Amino acid sequence: MTTDMTIEPAAGRTEGHGGARGAGRAAVRGLALALVALPGSVLCFVLTAVSLALVPIGVGLVTTPHVLTGVRTYANWRRVLAAEWGGVRIPPAYRPLPPGGNPWTRTAALLGDPATWRDLRWLPVDMTAGFVTALLPASLLLYPLEGFAIAAGLWRVFPDGYWYGFVPVDGQASALGAAALGLGLLLLGHFLAARLLHGHFLLTRAVLGSGQEALAERVRVLTETRRDAVDTSAAELRRIERDLHDGAQARLVAMGMDLGTVEALLDTDPERARELLAQARRSSADALDELRDLVRGIHPPVLAERGLGDAVRALALRLPVATEVTVELPGRAQAPVESAAYFAVSEVLTNAVKHSGADRIWVDLHHTDGFLRMTVTDNGRGGAVAGPGSGLTGVERRLGTFDGVLAVSSPAGGPTLVTMELPCALS
């Protein structure tokens, strides 16, 4: 599956549930979410309602695809925040849209996708319960400040009958009670702010999560990726057969003919026989080189012997562009995963060298939270897309066989950032 976003699930888990720093961070993030959730969700909901209402008169056929695409972008952005700030992964389960097509086709495809209606059901929840749950962490930390201000003398300017929480404020004694309540709320917020923000993201997942529809989409994706894997394997076998037939096999046949001629010329023309022997020796060396290249293309020996990091470093040394490789892998993945990762990086590097015009490339390999992440960045001209006919499509299919994803960020003028993720455990 190709996506234009990247998800770092570990970020939300590192802040913990306690501590003043974690509580303060949760309060700031919750307040930012509340300020965005209400206007953002209201705007998306209103635009969608108006656009759908205009479908019968034809105007909505033009506007609805753009509006619903905007809703998807907004929902995906909230999925990213849920992963980064709360450690809650909410995988999207959108059906692929038909390529090109007229507005009616795209509108029908979007409205026929259950994930679209799930997004639309989430919008009113996000603007109500989502707004409240996002605001709670900040409220628990900010509301006590009023209680402290009341105890400091602010109660004198308040009208009679003013209540702070459940404490009626009518004098200095009750003002101190307000401060005590504020202190209790502050301590409560200190311990609960991060948990409350996490609860907000769990609410988001409960509504945006797809349940049975995700399972059906999962089955569809697995079926497609397995079919691609079979096709890729068949194409790889044909390539190996062709390389053997046209390369090493042809050289070995020619070498056999030369040796037959040498045998016939040993007595009559020894000089010519020596020339043919030298030629046969060169042919054997060339055939051996071709066989080594072929084996390296199937599974590089350095990958099997020393692992993914050293294999990518060796690959970078052979590139005509200066390439810097950073590896942070505490162990090794299973051989099929390592092979898929190696050839994915190899294909992306080949594309960068051939098409980007870059003079420097950076490769980063690391493992976090059960995912092997590989990023390839170049300072070239940009404009790379993972579409039909692109080498990145093959990378996407290779990764998809192992439930991996590929994300491309390549604005015009560069730089290009290709991020690949593979779920795996390291030994």
For residues 27 and 143, give the distance between their C-alpha atoms in angstroms, rounded to a whole number. 12
Give this prediction's pTM: 0.50
What CATH number matches the domain at 231-298, 2.60.40, 1.10.530, 1.10.260, 1.20.5? 1.20.5
When mean pLDDT is compared over 33-37, 50-54, 99-103, 137-141, the highest value belongs to 50-54
Residues 253-271 have pLDDT tens digits of 777 777 777 777 777 777 8
Q: At what angle do helices 20-53 and 114-125 cross, to 10 degrees?
A: 120
At 314, phi and psi to the nearest 5?
Answer: -65, -40
Q: How large is the average pLDDT for residues 334-349? A: 86
At 42, phi and psi to the nearest 5?
Answer: -65, -45
**Whole-number pLDDT of residue 211:** 60
For residues 208 and 100, give the distance between their C-alpha atoms in angstroms, rounded to a whole number. 27
For residues 210 and 324, give the distance between their C-alpha atoms in angstroms, rounded to a whole number. 41
For residues 405 and 151, give the distance between their C-alpha atoms in angstroms, rounded to a whole number. 56
- Would you list the DSSP string of 47-60? HHHHHHHTGGGTHH
Q: How large is the average pLDDT for residues 58-73? A: 87
**Is the N-terminal amide bond of 270 cis, ω within 30° of 0?**
no
201 CB-near residues (< 8 Å, 6+ apart): 12, 81, 82, 85, 86, 88
Measure Cα distances from 317 to 67, 126, 301, 311, 325 in Å.
Answer: 47, 51, 16, 10, 10
- 10 pLDDT band (50/70/90 cuts)? very low
Residues 147-175 have pLDDT tens digits of 777 777 766 667 777 777 777 777 777 77
Point out the least confidently predicted range of 11-15, 77-81, 218-222, 223-227: 11-15
Three-state secondary structure call for residue 224: helix
Q: How large is the average pLDDT for residues 115-142? A: 87
Which overall architecture, per CATH, does domain 305-423 show?
2-Layer Sandwich (3.30)
For residues 177 and 155, give the distance between their C-alpha atoms in angstroms, rounded to a whole number. 12
For residues 360 and 93, give the distance between their C-alpha atoms in angstroms, rounded to a whole number. 36
- The Cβ-side half-sphere exposure at 205, using a 13 Å CA radius, reads 16
Residues 172-225 have pLDDT tens digits of 777 787 778 878 877 877 887 888 888 888 888 888 876 655 566 566 666 666
**Whole-number pLDDT of residue 124:** 92
Q: Across all residues in the chain, what is the average pLDDT?
A: 78
Burial class (CB in 10 A: 0-12, 13-18, 19+), 313: middle
81: tokens are 């925040």
Cα distance between the two ends of the chain:
26
User: Is 404 in contact with 371 (CB distance < 8 Å)?
Assistant: no
Segments making up each domain of the chain, as ranges: 2-210, 231-298, 305-423
Measure Cα distances from 279 to 244, 267, 274, 394 in Å.
Answer: 20, 19, 9, 40
Three-state secondary structure call for residue 367: strand
For residues 403 and 397, give the distance between their C-alpha atoms in angstroms, rounded to a whole number. 10
